[in-house]
Structure 1
Amino acid sequence: MLQKAQTGRTLLVASTGGHLEQLSRLRHRFEPATGLVEWATFDDAQARSLLAGEIVHHVPYIPPRGYAQVARAVPTAVRLLASGTFSTVISTGAGIALAFLPVARALGVSAHYVESAARADGPSLTGRLISRIPGINLYAQYQSWSDEDWAYTGSLFDGYRAVPNAAPPVRGRRVVVTLGTMRRYGFRRAVEHLVRVLPEVLEPDAEVLWQVGVADVSDLPINARVDVPAAELHEAITKADLVIAHAGIGSCLTALDAGRCPVVLPRRPELDEHVDNHQNMIARELDGRGLAISRAPEALEAADLWEAMSRTVDRVDRAQPFPLRVG
């Protein structure tokens, strides 16, 4: 009979993108402390950069709603969790959580699912499916929809506040446009409009880093890159006068960490830009807190870019703990 792990190691499980970004930030806030950790995620530039030096178990990519790929990842979850190495599994989703958390519960391993900070109105489809499995500890990052099942113990956004920039630049010299690295969904609509409006607020010799994902923009007058390693992207955002991003949680958090008030452009599922409308939830939440300027790409004007450059973002309560339920 398989036994519960005795070594006390924690397996941190997340799809790449915003899910992995969130888990990496929450890692040191968890209480009780996670101790020795290993990771299960996909193999891409973000994971290789963000988790450099960590023990990482690679799982083949699971796309949104990729239930066949979830099933194919289950044997990997069984192999890792039946080894007796781990006493705790924590996941921030998405589909990879469906492969690992049920296996963890079946093997008597403590399982925790933290819903994304993108979900301001309630749990995601992954969260709803996970909630049907008895014994998995559930966490919301919004007190407004937490309840006896979904505990609220903190949010990634609680540690930021917007303040006026004492000396905003007259025109931008360094700009980062980061539209995520989703392998299925492009966002050409945003790039087309930015090509038109950005020059209105830039110096003639401004440097613009364009990270556009899978969108084909080869006919546009920009030097576009599909993806950028996390360390390089973080450094560019830190030096930027202006950050423009899709409303992905990872991109937004990176900008906020760097003290930037980003302009966020939500993707729309009805235009085949994403699987659902959760980016609009992120954009609405950040705009309401004054931490971002949210606009549809077609509605974006130079005035919005000036406004973003006139604000900075400060960190508060950096070490606020994120308590985990016992069991």
Structure 2
Amino acid sequence: MDPQVLPRRSRLLLVASTGGHLAELMLISKLIEARPDSHWVTFDHDQSRSLLGDRTVTHVPYVAPRSLGGVLRALPTFVRLLRRERFDAVVSTGAAVAVPALLVARLFRCEAHYVESVSRFSGPSLTGRILQRVPSVRLYTQHEQWVGRRWRFDVSIADSFRAGERRELPPGPPRIFVTVGTIRPYRFDALVDRVKAVLPADAEVTWQLGSTRRTDLPGTVLEHVSSEEFDRLAREATTVVTHAGVGSVIRLLELGARPVVVPRRASRGEHVDDHQLETLEALRRLDGVVCREAGELSSEDLVPPGPRD
């Protein structure tokens, strides 16, 4: 295989965390035309079960960000898979689960490819920096501006950051869908508290809260939703308030939703770092996307402009 590009039309072991990493890998697998008999490894979750459908999937124990224990617990799964089956290459978009997958790939002399998240506009994540230390892992950025040293550019889903055709908003009172993603164990109370404080009195609201478990909220409160349920809630909403996770944002743009995007902040313990700020800056140029910090949200942001029936 060409060492400068990802493998095309090959039988791959495709590895990613749930959430945005899995959504990105789904898009990249289409760009490189991964064979239908490729094998997926991710976490057992509503999103992965609905998104991957009838594909061949192995669930690996959850690997939390920066968790050495999680990395060690995942190793036997990849040893069993690579001992039992033959793959042309292992391809991962991260996050931490990429480390055991690609290390075991090299142990079995299988090509190992790591594609950094499109949310990393200026340099690699911690996972990327760790894998830089493994000489035989092939590394790819999705942004040409930081190609260099060991980082190549091949494919990118950056073009997915574009506004889709705006759909007609449903009539009636505001219908608000709040989605804060699935990353564990990080909460996003700053966003939830602010939405609760500025929520219009007549609004109908559904919350998808992940690890931000709450019992004090109006409306419908869900921990996780399937991909199908996410799409339905987004289509029915007049406004979707979302964290600046690339998987959520890209899907909302595809659906023609009206997203209000709020970044998680590392200083509040909401994520491992502030890479969601880079995603927010990339979205500011798009018409119809409202970009706010949590404390800036207002009731006007939650209600789309124009007359309501």
The structure, 1 or 2, with the larger RCO (C-alpha pairs under 8 Å, 6+ apart) is 1
Q: Residues 187-202 of structure 1 correspond to what in structure 2 (within 5 A)?
A: 187-199=188-200
Tell me by how many angstroms 1:72 deviates. 1.8
Structure 2 residue matching 1:86: 3-state secondary structure: coil
**Higher strand proportion (structure 1 or 2):** 1
TM-score using structure 2 length = 0.87
Cα root mean square deviation, aligned? 2.5
Partner of 2:12: 10
Structure 1, unaligned runs of 5 or more: 1-7, 311-327
- Structure-1 residue corresponding to 2:31: 29
- Which of 239, 243, 246 is residue 246 of structure 1 equivalent to? 243
Aligned residue number for residue 149 of structure 1: 150
Partner of 1:3: none
Structure 2 distance, partners of 1:160, 1:278, is 16
State how far apart, in whole Å, the 2-side matches of 1:105 and 1:72 are.
18
Quote how far apart the aligned CAs of 1:143 are.
1.5
1:233 equivalent in structure 2: 230
- Distance across 1 between alignment mates of 2:47 and 2:76: 24
Match of 1:259 in 2: 256
Q: Distance in 2 between matches of 1:166 and 1:77?
A: 43
Q: Name stretches of at least 5 consecutive residues in structure 2 with no aligned partner.
A: 1-9
Conserved in 1, the CA contact under 8 Å of 2:51 and 2:227?
yes
Task: Output one character per residue of 1:229-275: Cα deviation in whole Å (capped at 9) or x when no partner.
Answer: 12111122133221110111221122111122411111111211112
**C-alpha contact (below 8 Å) 1:10/1:86 kept by paired residues:** yes
User: Quick one: which of 268, 273, 278 aligns to 2:270?
Assistant: 273
Three-state SS of the structure 2 residue aligned to 1:13 is strand
Q: Do 1:118 and 1:281's aligned partners in 2 also have CA atoms closer than 8 Å?
A: yes
Structure-2 residue corresponding to 1:209: 206
1:123-156 per-position Cα deviation (integer Å, ceiling 9, x unaligned): 0000111122122221111121122521223432
Q: 1:291 to 1:120 in 2, by over 3 A?
A: farther
Could you report, residue by residue, the CA deviation over 1:211-230 in whole angstroms, capped at 9, with x for unpaired residues? 11222321233321111112
Percent pairwise identity: 42
Closer/same/farther in 2, CA of residues 148 and 306 from structure 1, 3 Å limit = farther
Alignment size in residue pairs: 298
Shift of 1:169: 7.4
Structure 2 residue identity aligned to 1:197: V
1:210 CA displacement: 1.1
Q: Would you say the 8 A contact 1:188–1:216 is kept in 2?
A: no
CA distance in 1, matches of 2:256, 2:150: 34
Query: 1:283–1:292: 8 Å Cα contact kept in structure 2?
Result: no
Map 1:279-294; keep pairs closer than 5 Å.
279-290=276-287, 292-294=289-291
Shift in CA distance, 216/83, structure 1 to aligned 2, threshold 3 Å? closer
Kindly indicate whether the alpha-carbon contact (under 8 Å) linking 2:89 and 2:112 is maintained by their aligned counterparts in 1. Answer: yes
Instruction: Quote the residue 1:112 is aligned against.
Output: 113
